[in-house]
Amino acid sequence: MSTILVGVSPAMNKIRETVSRIARNAALNVVITGETGVGKEVVARSLYETSLRNKKEFVKVNCAAIPDTLLESELFGIEQGAYTGAHKMRKGKFELADDGVLFLDEIGDMTFHLQAKLLHVLQSGEYSRLGSETNLRSNTWVISATNHDLQQKIEKKEFRQDLYYRLNMVKIHIPPLRERPEDIPELIAHYTQVYRRIYTDREISPLNTYTFDRLCRCPWPGNVRQLLSALKRILLIGCDQATLSEILDEESPRINGASPAAPPIYDHLMGEIRDLATKSPEALADFSLKGIKQHAVDIIEREAISQILTMTNWNRTRASKILKISYKTLLTKISQLHITKPQ
C-alpha cells in the first residue's frame, strides 16, 4: 500500500501539513473521519511513517470485523489458562503496538462495553491480559478512523463522550473525492506508476485521452478505493471504449447512466468534421485525411495539456511528470499549441 498523500487540492495540502505537524511528537491521539474509501488508512500510515515511532510496529484492528466477544482478547491479550483452550499466553494488539502505533479502524462500531475498557487504558495507561491480574503499561499512539458521525452517535447514546474526547485530540477529515476532483489526475498518475512497479511482468500502457477523461469526470461514490479498483482493471487488461463503459458500470451503476455521455473533446472534433460537408470545393483544397488527423491530435493534446496545467496550478514540472513528457517538450507544446495561462 502506498502511504504517499496524493493530491493538489486545498484539503489534501491541509492534511499533509497536519500530518507533518502532528507526527513530530506522536503524543496526541488522532481521529480520522471520512466516507468509506477516501483513504483513512493511508493517512494513518503516513502519520506513522512520518513519526519517530516508525521503527516500531503499526498494528491495525478493524473494530467492525471482529465480534465483541473476541475483540477484547484481540486488544488486550490472553493469559495462559484464562479459559478452557487457552494453552499459552497470547499478546494483544496494545502490547504488540508498544512504542508504536495502534490503528483502530471503524472505531464507531465498537460496543459500549469495550469503549469503557478502551477509555480505562487511555486514562490510566495500563491494562491487563484476560485472565491476569498483572497490569501492563501502555506506550502506544492510538490513531482511530471512522465513517460515522461520532457526535451524532454520542447524542444517540451509542458512543461515549468521554472516550471521544480522549481519542479526538486531533481530528483529520478527508473529504470525498467528488469534492476534490482536481486530485483525480494526480491519483491516476501516481497509482499507474505504483501498479507498474508491482506488476513488472505486465506491459502497462499509458491511458489514452478518452479513458483519462472518462475517469476524471466520474463522481466516484466509492471514492479513491473505487477509482483505484477501476484503474487497476483498466491498466492490467487494457480496454476499448465499450469495455471501459462495462468496467465503470460494474464498479457502480451510479457512475454512469444507461449510456455515458461523449467527452467534450469528441463532440468538438465531430462538429468540425461535420462542418466539412458545408464547405466549398475551394475551401477543401488543402484538406487531407492526414491533415485532419493531425488537427485532431493537436486539439486533444491542447485540451489534455491545458487540463493538467490547470489542475497543477500551472506547475509545469509536475505537469510534465503527469503527462510523461520532458519539461522541454512541454514548453515546446505550450508554445506550438498556443496554450496561455488564464489571467
- Set out the domains of the chain in order of their start, with CATH numbers: 10-175 (3.40.50.300), 181-336 (no CATH)
The Cα 251–Cα 227 span in angstroms is 9
Average pLDDT, the chain: 86
Q: What are phi and psi of 270, to 5 degrees?
A: -65, -35
pLDDT in tens, 263-321: 455 555 555 665 555 556 665 666 677 777 777 787 788 878 988 887 788 999 999 99
pLDDT in tens, 227-268: 999 999 899 887 777 777 777 777 655 554 433 444 455 555
Q: What is the pTM of this model?
A: 0.73
- Among 22-36, 85-99, 110-124, which stretch is predicted with the lowest mean pLDDT? 85-99
143 touches 104 (CB < 8 A): yes
Q: The dihedral of CA 223, 30, 63, 141: what is its sign?
A: positive
The Cα 3–Cα 44 span in angstroms is 9
Tracing cell 475517469 back to the chain, one arrives at 215
